[in-house]
Each structure stands twice: as structure tokens, then as C-alpha cells.
Structure 1
């Protein structure tokens, strides 16, 4: 019997939202950092970053949906392959028994965490929608300061502060609800965001 790791009960949509927001904070922040270096117009920063948010959210949503569909396709393919192999009866019997036990254990584990043991198109669509929307929400966090400041420099400073705080918070929550070390996950998210922003800033500087 599979014994899942002890963790706080949480629904799949909550995990989707945490993943979407934490990922959505990184790329838009990095792009806003780059554009902030090459322009003094806040609307330019807003326009380019909004475009990145739209592209990123659509990409994340489609990627989530097709990844779920592909996983189900791989499992079905493996099942058909086993059926077509010419194996000894005792081998087939042993494999069938192990497969049956494994399937039962997976169904129990899936039921405990509210997951679907097989591909569920409706659930995959909902998950994709949640991730895409959450990514867009996360991407707006580093962008919002530019709407309310008179200069790019002021907006950028506030963007750094708000993004860093949110990366810590959502990184911590993501780690907590996915059975990882929450503090380590929070600092990893900060490191990801900082690394992406520094890289974008340096590259932008090469063309100014």
C-alpha cells in the first residue's frame, strides 16, 4: 500500500493557482526590468509587459492541458504495447496482477488528494484555465506600480519591493502545499526572480 507523505489537505485548483502565480511573477518582472533600463516612458514598460503576460498565460494554460492529455496518451500506449507482446502466460499473469495492484493504489492516492486517476478533459480544461489566469494575476503584480508613478525609476523600485515580497509569500505557500521545504522554496523563488531580472537587465544594457 502506498503511503503518501503527510501534508496539509489542499485541493488541486489551489496548487494550480499557486504554481501559476509564482511562475507569473518571474518573466514579467524580468521583462519590466529590461524595458525599464531602455526607456523613460512608463507606458512603454506597461505595454511590453502586458504583452508578455498575455503570451505567458496562454502558453502556460495550453502547456498544462496538453501535458495532461499526453500523460494519458502515454499510459494508454503502454497498456496496448503490453497487450501485443508475446509473453509466457505466467509472465502475463504476474504483470497483470502487479498492474492491477498498482492501479488500485493509484486510485486510492488520487481519491485522497482529489485527483483524477485517468484523463478528465473537463478537469484538464479547468486546471489550464486556473493556471493561465493565475499566471496573469502574478504577472500584474510587478507591473501595477508603473500605473501609479510619475517615472520609470520610481515604478521600478516599487516593482522590485512588491515582487520580492510576493515571491517569498507565494514561494512559501507553494512549498508548503506541495510537500517541499517551504522556506527553501521561498528563497529559490527569490533567486529565480533575481537571476532572471539581472540577466534581462544586463542584456538590455548591451543595446543601449
Structure 2
């Protein structure tokens, strides 16, 4: 750095990158809940858009949560560019899978209590958007991002995913 021009040295000294600073368990929870909230939410919205009954939405949603939790848990061996710690691999897989299940159940709960999917989807949207906002805020807090911006971004991404699935299902149905 001594060979660099003074203005380049100044730029390098002021450059700060934000890196994930929370613990590995928090990282695993964020990964699991993030996908767990979004994927089953989009699936349920899509099936509701296709006029499937709540029992079908719930059955497909639970099957997706089970498959997704296993897939996410297995995939959590491969996260990051560094070689995974084999001693932590099982803990990481279980943490991601459990977080996925918890997140995935949130959008499905309304379908457990509301028989008509077109009514359940409204409750699912409300409950899931609230959960996405809370999750996004917590994610922002733990990752060093701005919590309010993180909350809005997370909810927006979930809303776009479910709206896309709902819209595609409606378009195919007509």
C-alpha cells in the first residue's frame, strides 16, 4: 500500500465492506425461515389462484414444507465459499430444516381453519406479510443492515413471489 498514490491509499483506508457478523446458528435460522416463509406462501397463493380447495392447498403445502426442509438442510452443507466444518454440519442442517418448517407453517395455518381457499388466502397473505416484516426486521438487526429497510424488502419479495404464483395460476385456469 506504500507504493500507491495518496488518493488511492485514502480510498482503501475508508473502504469498509459489510459482512455477516451474527453467529452461524443465526445465519442458519435466517436461511431456513427466509425460504420457509416465501416458498410455501407462493405455493399456497398459486394453488388458491387455481381454485384448489383448502384441503389440497394444505396437503401440498405440508408436502412442500417437508421436502423443502430436507432439501434446505442438505444444502446448508454447501453454503459459503469456505470448506464447511464437518463438526457443525449436522447442527447446521437441523437448524435450517427446523427454521424452514417453522417459517413454512406460517402461511399454511389459515388453510387449517378456513375451508374455502379463496378466503384462506386472504388470511394467509395478512399473516405471512406480518411475519415477513417481523422476520425482515430481525434479519436486518442481526446482519447489521437497516432493520426497517430489511423488513420492507423482505415483505416485498415475499409479496412479489406469492403474487406471481397467484397470477400465473389464475392465467392458466382461464
Establish whether TM, by shorter chain, passes 0.5.
yes
Runs of 4+ in 1 over 2 A off after TM superposition: 9-12
Q: Structure 1, residues 156-182: CA drift from partner, whole Å, max 9, x if none? A: 111111100000001110111011111
Q: Give the conservation status (yes or no) of the 8 Å contact 1:49–1:143.
A: yes
Residues 37-186 of structure 1: matches in 2 within 5 Å?
37-67=49-79, 71-72=82-83, 119-186=84-151
What stretches of structure 2 of length at least 5 have no aligned partner?
1-15
The question of 1:198 aligning with 2:171 is answered no
How many residue pairs get aligned? The number is 158
Q: Give the conservation status (yes or no) of the 8 Å contact 1:61–1:132.
A: yes
The question of 1:30 aligning with 2:46 is answered no
Q: Give the conservation status (yes or no) of the 8 Å contact 2:51–2:118.
A: no
**What is the root-mean-square deviation in Å for CA atoms of aligned residues?**
2.3
Change (3 A) 1:40 1:63: closer
Q: Give the conservation status (yes or no) of the 8 Å contact 2:134–2:151.
A: yes
**In 2: Cα distance, 1:150 partner to 1:31 partner:** 17
TM score, norm. by length of structure 2: 0.81
**In 2: Cα distance, 1:16 partner to 1:164 partner:** 21
**In 2: Cα distance, 1:187 partner to 1:179 partner:** 15
Larger RCO (CA under 8 A, 6+ residues apart): 1
Q: Give the conservation status (yes or no) of the 8 Å contact 1:19–1:174.
A: no
TM score, norm. by length of structure 1: 0.69
Q: What secondary structure is seen at the aligned counterpart in 2 of 1:206?
A: helix
**In 1: Cα distance, 2:22 partner to 2:75 partner:** 23
**In 1: Cα distance, 2:130 partner to 2:164 partner:** 20
**In 1: Cα distance, 2:139 partner to 2:24 partner:** 12
